[in-house]
Structure 1
Amino acid sequence: MMHLFNELPSRTKSNQVLSLRDLIVEGHSVLVNNDSSSTLTQLGESPVGVRLALIDPPYNRRTKFHHYNDSSSRERWITDIQLSCINLRKHLTDDGSLWMHIDDAEMPSARAALDDIFGRNNFIATIVWRKTVSRDNRMPISTTHEYILVYAKNKRLWFRSRHKLPATKEQRARYKNPDQDPRGPWTSGDLTAKAGPGRRREQFYNIITPSGRSVAPATGTCWRYTRERFQELIDDNRIDFGSGDKMPRLKRFLSEVDPGLVPDTWWEGSNVGTADSAKRHLKTLFPSVIPFETPTPEELTARILEIATNPGDLVIDVYGGSGTTAAVAMKTGRRWLLAERETQTFDAFTLPRLQLVSEGKDLGGVSGQYDWEGGGHFRVVEAND
């Protein structure tokens, strides 16, 4: 019989009273020791409301790592990815997205498969993550990057709901309050626009500055606003004339704008962590265990979650590995479903790591950034015997 939701995970067989789907629908976070296909099959046909599918499948490098086998025929690899992504798309919310880690070995195949599944019109971007700063002198050209393919279920809806990156200290420092405006710090913006078809005659006029100087837009430009609207902005103290005779500029208040950064496609390891920093983090958690060869840094995963989700949203990862997606989801207040098929990896890394996170014993990664002290509860479901 299924136990009640406890502070520590309790293992249960997936064929007992509460199914995996039941657990997810009821709002639990769940860790599964099973493969991607079986896990997704257990979720059923109707959507469960996944906001983000974040997957890091084997790259098919024809290599056998200590904790998993990364060697399949191309046909088998593509078939597995196609089946997983078809099912993942089915469970996404209308503004949901899928992010796939990949490298050069199968990048073209992955892109073609995702184009077919999501539609090329729902492709968002290919992010390049600089995973290492070290050069491999054994190679003709040293590879220092991997990719993250980003697709939306509906690109228009995803764009409306996605988040910018938080403003940097440098960005916020641009906002000042030299006139002690009660609305707080502000910066100023250009009040002119390119002249051309569609501009109104009322946008071409001279402005008298407080010092009495008459100013007009430069040749080929006009004011953004009519004279009437401009006067309203002056009356509301939203126009800055500098020392009194400068070209007018529009005051933009920090309290009224979103000063965040639109995400770009180049992610430096210095900002989102590297493969080596992720290994060091795991080594502090499991000093006596053979290191997991290919962990993802928590900072990288946190950036993805900040862009693509809100606290409380459901995140799914069916190639769980060392458990980074679930660890970061816990620390950032998201619900999650994570599956790892390799029992050796599950027992050595995935489950123990998430227990440490839940108990507040993982102080690394993004714990400090999110003031994480533990408390994330989850259920554990094992594959049927």
Structure 2
Amino acid sequence: MKSRAASSQINNKLIEDIVSEGKSLLMNAEGLELLSTVKDSSVRVKMALLDPPYNRRTKFHHYDDSMCRDKWVDALDHHCRLIRDCLTEDGSLWLHIDDAEMIRARIVLDRIFGEKNFIASIVWQKSVSRDNRTSISTTHEYILVYAKDKNLWKKTRNKLPPTDDQLGRYKNKDNDPRGPWTSGDLTAKAGPGRREAQFYDLELPSGRVVRPSVGTAWRFTKERLEEMIADNRIYFGGGNSMPRLKRFLTEVDPGLVPNTWWSGEEVGTADSAKKYLKALFPNLTPFETPKPEELVSRAIKIATKENDYVLDIYGGSGTTAAVATKLNRKWLTTEREERTFNEFTLPRIEIACASANHNQSLSNNFVIIR
């Protein structure tokens, strides 16, 4: 399942060989070592998913989250400039952050990727409980999303799967052989772009004559609407209702365009992530700020397809690589702290791979470099 190589062997050819063989890579090293090598190779990744220290001026059990602000900004700038060069042309960077350095992170990323390539600032509800010890309880964090080329990224990004409620709106009231459908309004605001041919009377099957209300127009000309009526694409209810356009499930993409609010109920919370880590490693102190697998899974599903490469230079507890494995994505991951690498990153990935190997399509071979 895995092979090992010495850290001194890391070079462009090794990276290219690993990728050409469809393997993933785990390194116990500084992220810059991997980034510099990938940048100078022909390898490109579809997504970089980063969960760096937030610089909260706090010392956690597993790492010191306190750094001179200028040094923190310089480090982020250096990393992200290299990451941009490592992305495919339709690739994207996803950066976890909170209010401590949110503004400075935006400035850095705007400068590197360009403001025009900013996609969104996703708000994650990290906690569903209220902290009464504070002046105002902070229950959210952010994920900043930037594309290398926003227009290209939009063409390849994935929608979220349709919900049961969304699919339930499609029914087949008239037994149309094309299957379930939902209906939409046939009128639109009568703005400057409307043509005179979109204002006309229409006779319903019942004989009643109707026309759009004041300030609106038909979406189609009368000639086009009659063609659609002949093709049974217009629904009149019992014959006396305003016409509606039939949209067939087989002819539309029922997926949901992602929005910027990711609730804890949908993608998990920091508390649920801690409980999961505690269950995996009952004898270890869990990370104070882990990310739930559901959160990481949603981001990866939006930004990548199967067998794409995901980059993570802050391996930590191994969430990104573990989730990528389960989703049949490849990954390049580094964790600099040897203790964290041995206690969390490597074992977490091994557990994910062992589970995935029950399904051959999810198996994920990886190389370890120390």
Same fold by TM-score greater than 0.5: yes
**Aligned partners of 2:29, 2:38: CA distance in 1, in Å?**
13
Task: Quote the residue 1:11 is aligned against.
Answer: 4
**Aligned partners of 1:247, 1:200: CA distance in 2, in Å?**
21
| Letter matched to residue 236 of structure 1 | D
Query: What 5-or-longer segments of structure 1 have no aligned partner?
Result: 1-6, 364-370
Give CA deviations for 1:68-97 in whole Å, capped at 9, x if unaligned.
221211122111111110000001111111
**Aligned partners of 2:102, 2:42: CA distance in 1, in Å?**
28
**Aligned partners of 1:302, 1:123: CA distance in 2, in Å?**
21
Give CA deviations for 1:164-219 in whole Å, capped at 9, x if unaligned.
21111111111101111111110100111222333222222222211122111112
Task: Quote the residue 1:290 is aligned against.
Answer: 285
Q: Are residues 372 and 114 of structure 1, via their aligned partners in 2, closer, same or farther at CA, if it must alter by over 3 Å? A: farther
Give CA deviations for 1:25-57 in whole Å, capped at 9, x if unaligned.
443211111111112112242552211111000
8 A Cα contact 1:357 1:376, kept in partner: no
8 A Cα contact 1:357 1:374, kept in partner: no
Q: What's the C-alpha RMSD, in Å, of the aligned pairs?
A: 1.9
Does residue 170 in structure 1 map to residue 158 in structure 2? no
Q: 1:270 aligns with which of 265, 270, 283?
A: 265
Give CA deviations for 1:253-298 in whole Å, capped at 9, x if unaligned.
1111122222111111110000011111111111112222221101
Does residue 31 in structure 1 map to residue 26 in structure 2? yes
8 A Cα contact 2:50 2:94, kept in partner: yes
**Aligned partners of 1:277, 1:199: CA distance in 2, in Å?**
52
| Letter matched to residue 58 of structure 1 | P
Fraction of identical pairs, as percent: 59
Does residue 307 in structure 1 map to residue 302 in structure 2? yes
* Residue-pair matches, total: 368
Task: Quote the residue 2:76 is aligned against.
Answer: 81
Does residue 378 in structure 1 map to residue 358 in structure 2? no
**Aligned partners of 2:362, 2:198: CA distance in 1, in Å?**
58
SS at match of 2:283: coil
**Aligned partners of 2:257, 2:243: CA distance in 1, in Å?**
28
**Aligned partners of 2:285, 2:119: CA distance in 1, in Å?**
37
**Aligned partners of 2:22, 2:365: CA distance in 1, in Å?**
11
TM-score (normalised: structure 2): 0.95
8 A Cα contact 1:195 1:222, kept in partner: yes
8 A Cα contact 2:44 2:86, kept in partner: yes
| Letter matched to residue 379 of structure 1 | V
**Aligned partners of 1:372, 1:176: CA distance in 2, in Å?**
37
TM-score (normalised: structure 1): 0.91
Q: 1:59 aligns with which of 54, 61, 74?
A: 54
8 A Cα contact 1:202 1:227, kept in partner: yes
1:1-385 correspondence runs (5 A): 7=1, 9-16=2-9, 19-46=14-41, 48-360=43-355, 375-382=363-370
SS at match of 1:10: strand
**By how many angstroms is 1:234 displaced?**
1.1
Give CA deviations for 1:293-338 in whole Å, capped at 9, x if unaligned.
2211010011101111111111101111111111111111111111
Q: Are residues 95 and 321 of structure 1, via their aligned partners in 2, closer, same or farther at CA, if it must alter by over 3 Å? A: same
**Aligned partners of 1:136, 1:347: CA distance in 2, in Å?**
33
**Aligned partners of 2:357, 2:315: CA distance in 1, in Å?**
18
**Comparing both structures, which one devotes a greater share of its residues to helix?**
2
**Aligned partners of 1:90, 1:26: CA distance in 2, in Å?**
22
Moved more, 279-288 or 130-139: 130-139
Moved more, 309-318 or 212-221: 212-221
**Aligned partners of 1:242, 1:40: CA distance in 2, in Å?**
61
| Letter matched to residue 294 of structure 1 | T
**Aligned partners of 1:49, 1:223: CA distance in 2, in Å?**
48
Q: Are residues 191 and 267 of structure 1, via their aligned partners in 2, closer, same or farther at CA, if it must alter by over 3 Å? A: same
Moved more, 132-141 or 86-95: 132-141
8 A Cα contact 2:52 2:314, kept in partner: yes
